[in-house]
Amino acid sequence: MSLKIITNRCKGCGICAAFCPKQVLAVNEVEKIEAVAEENCIKCGQCEMRCPDYAIFVEK
């Protein structure tokens, strides 16, 4: 597990999903971010850098 998502901080803005180069993330039906294809994650850190809510971290 390389992505750590803190669900109660996430507001589902979708910034991380939009900037993810590998389409790993998606906003689910309750408007929280979810890793839908984590095996494709290249740990680039775009999501962590752009998240305004400190809700997603990449563990290296």
Partner 1 sequence: MSMEQLIDKYFRPGRLPHIWCPGCGNGIVTGAIVKAIDKLALEKDSVAVISGIGCSSRASGYLDFNTVHSAHGRALPVATGVKLADPSLNVVVVTGDGDATAIGGNHLIHAARRNIDMTVVLYNNSIYGMTGGQYSPMTPYGSKATTAPYATIEHDFDIAELAKAAGATFVARATTFHTQLLVDLIAKGIQHKGFSIIEAVSACPISFGRQNKLGGPADMMKWQRDHAVMLPAWNKLTEEQRSGKFPIGLLYEVTDRKEYTEAYDELIARAQGGNK
Instruction: Assess contact for 25 and 35: CB atoms under 8 A.
Output: yes
Q: Which is nearer to partner 1, 44 or 57 (CB)?
A: 57
Contact 23, 37 (CB under 8 A): yes
Cβ proximity of 54 and 9 under 8 Å: yes
Beta carbon of residue 26, minimum distance to partner 1 (angstroms, whole number) = 13
Instruction: Say if residues 47 and 56 touch (Cβ distance below 8 Å).
Output: yes
Positions 1 through 60 that interact with partner 1 (CB under 8 A): 4, 8-9, 11-15, 17-19, 31, 48-55, 57, 59-60
Residue ranges in contact with partner 1 by CB under 8 A? 4, 8-9, 11-15, 17-19, 31, 48-55, 57, 59-60
